[in-house]
């Protein structure tokens, strides 16, 4: 097309400035100054872009003054012309894929009055020794509990038994757990011998001489069972002895509704005797271990060696404590509460966090008390509430105790 208009490459080349003219233009100070200014502007623009990127990288947005040093006008001017960006979740979560590392969140484990709705787990604990005779009745009462069985875990400790307690327990558990209508969430059998040789004869077992060694041994058995069975998921711990013959089916719900750290019922027993040709039902009072402290007992304890264990209901030590066993009536309001300083171990419901805090059953003299009474003393000393229900009666087996044995 160049050739069609009379142009040629030679003509176009002739119109270009000569080599010397181009060189003169390049050396002109005005040209060099213009080139320098353009280069400076370009570098400045590139540096500003880099600085903006660094600001975004470190999330540094904001005015040059702290808000507290800005006047009202400066604050309004800043927010009118610039909005501060908001970043949500700027950090990635930490992911741990190692299966050997476990995470337990005890903040989520609560003990509330809405235990059923919140699906709070209950652990029922029972220490056993030569207890095969009582197991059938014990499991009959367990199956009648109305608290959801899929939220209940059972655990038993068998120690120093001379009968077939372990075999009988295994049979009863197998029978129950194979019945989907009554099966519990889980069951555990713990075996631990402590070398206890104390007689299980009723008269000796409840004699004054046996109380110190017996209570210390029971405290140790309870602590072993608790440490083996309690899991992070448990909200409540229900201690239930093997020789209960009758109790309300809703006892767990009834006790949870009180929202107390430690709570016990009154423990009585039925004794049937023939009088004038008729069988008479005598409501006997049992478990003098649930009591309120007295000045006499505190004065007595101050005179005793620290290793002496006070046992209640015995003439050897007159404490003048107020016994819950002598109070109440199962026909009256079952929700009446009284504060206690000592408790018995037949039936106790405890918030699991009480045990997690280190409150256990001393197998030694703690403030001259051991086992459950020492547990109550320890709990109160740690600031927990210990209460009893004098009108809420759980029935114990008749021990045919002799006069003077409480």
Cα separation values, 246 from 179, 290, 296, 395, 398, Å = 22, 19, 35, 5, 12
| The two structure tokens encoding residue 187 | 């069951």
Q: What confidence score (pLDDT) does residue 70 get? A: 83
Asked whether the CA dihedral 165, 248, 312, 325 is positive or negative, the reply is negative
Domain 118-396: CATH architecture, name and number where available: Alpha-Beta Complex (3.90)
Residue 343: φ, ψ to 5°: -135, 155
Give the start-to-end residue ranges of the domains of the chain.
118-396
SS3 356: helix
pLDDT in 10s for each residue of the chain, 406 residues: 445 555 565 565 556 566 666 666 767 788 788 888 888 888 887 766 555 555 555 555 666 788 788 888 887 777 776 667 777 767 778 899 999 999 999 999 999 999 999 999 999 999 999 999 999 999 999 999 999 999 999 999 999 999 999 999 999 999 999 999 999 999 999 999 998 776 555 444 555 556 678 889 999 999 999 999 999 999 999 999 999 999 999 999 999 999 999 999 999 998 888 778 888 888 899 889 999 999 999 999 999 899 988 877 666 788 999 999 999 999 999 999 999 999 999 999 999 999 999 999 999 999 999 999 999 999 999 999 999 999 999 999 987 744 433 3
CB 173 within 8 A of CB 372: no
Q: What confidence score (pLDDT) does residue 87 get? A: 75
Q: What confidence score (pLDDT) does residue 136 get? A: 95
Q: Classify residue 5 by its DSSP letter.
A: G
Q: What confidence score (pLDDT) does residue 101 get? A: 94
Mind giving me the DSSP string for 91-160?
SPPP----TT-----GGG----TTTTTTT-EEEEEEEESS-GGGHHHHHHHHHT--S-GGGEEEEEEE-S
Closest CA to 399 of 228, 271, 274, 289: 271
Cα separation values, 151 from 53, 84, 238, 252, Å = 56, 50, 13, 12
Q: Classify residue 308 by its DSSP letter.
A: P
CB 237 within 8 A of CB 352: yes
Q: What confidence score (pLDDT) does residue 404 get? A: 36
Closest CA to 189 of 142, 220, 225: 225
Q: What confidence score (pLDDT) does residue 198 get? A: 63
Beta strand 347-351 pairing with 262-275:
antiparallel
């Amino acid at each position: 097309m160049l050739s069609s208009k009379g142009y040629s490459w030679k003509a176009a080349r002739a119109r270009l400035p000569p080599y010397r003219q181009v060189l003169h233009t390049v050396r002109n100070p005005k040209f060099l100054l213009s080139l320098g200014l353009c280069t400076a502007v370009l570098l400045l623009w590139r540096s500003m872009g880099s600085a903006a990127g660094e600001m975004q990288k470190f999330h540094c947005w904001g005015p040059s003054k702290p808000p507290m040093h800005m006047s009202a006008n400066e604050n309004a001017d800043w927010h009118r012309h610039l909005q501060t960006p908001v970043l949500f979740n700027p950090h990635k979560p930490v992911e741990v894929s190692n299966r050997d590392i476990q995470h337990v969140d005890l903040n989520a484990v609560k003990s509330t009055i809405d235990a059923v709705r919140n699906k709070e787990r209950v652990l029922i604990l029972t220490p056993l020794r030569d207890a095969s005779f009582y197991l059938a009745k014990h499991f009959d009462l367990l199956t009648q509990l109305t608290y959801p069985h899929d939220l209940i875990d059972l655990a038993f400790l068998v120690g120093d038994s001379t009968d077939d307690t372990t075999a009988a327990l295994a049979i009863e558990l197998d029978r129950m757990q194979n019945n989907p209508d009554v099966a519990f969430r889980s069951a555990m059998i713990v075996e631990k011998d402590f070398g206890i040789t104390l007689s299980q004869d009723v008269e000796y077992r409840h004699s004054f001489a046996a109380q110190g060694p017996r209570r210390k041994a029971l405290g140790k058995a309870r602590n072993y069972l608790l440490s083996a069975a309690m899991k992070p998921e448990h909200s409540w711990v229900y201690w239930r002895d093997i020789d209960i013959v009758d109790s309300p089916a809703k006892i767990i719900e009834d006790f949870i509704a009180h929202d107390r750290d430690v709570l016990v019922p009154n423990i009585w027993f039925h004794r049937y005797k023939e009088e004038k040709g008729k069988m008479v039902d005598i409501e006997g009072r049992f478990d003098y271990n649930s009591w309120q402290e007295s000045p006499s007992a505190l004065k007595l304890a101050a005179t005793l060696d620290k290793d002496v264990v006070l046992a209640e209901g015995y003439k050897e030590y007159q404490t003048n404590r107020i016994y819950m066993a002598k109070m109440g009536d199962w026909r009256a309001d079952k929700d009446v509460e009284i504060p206690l300083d000592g408790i018995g171990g037949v039936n106790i419901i405890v918030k699991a966090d009480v045990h997690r805090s280190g409150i256990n059953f001393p197998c030694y003299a703690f403030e001259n008390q051991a086992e459950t009474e020492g547990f109550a003393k320890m709990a109160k000393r740690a600031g927990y509430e210990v209460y009893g229900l004098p009108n809420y009666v759980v029935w114990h087996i008749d021990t045919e105790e002799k006069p003077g044995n409480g």
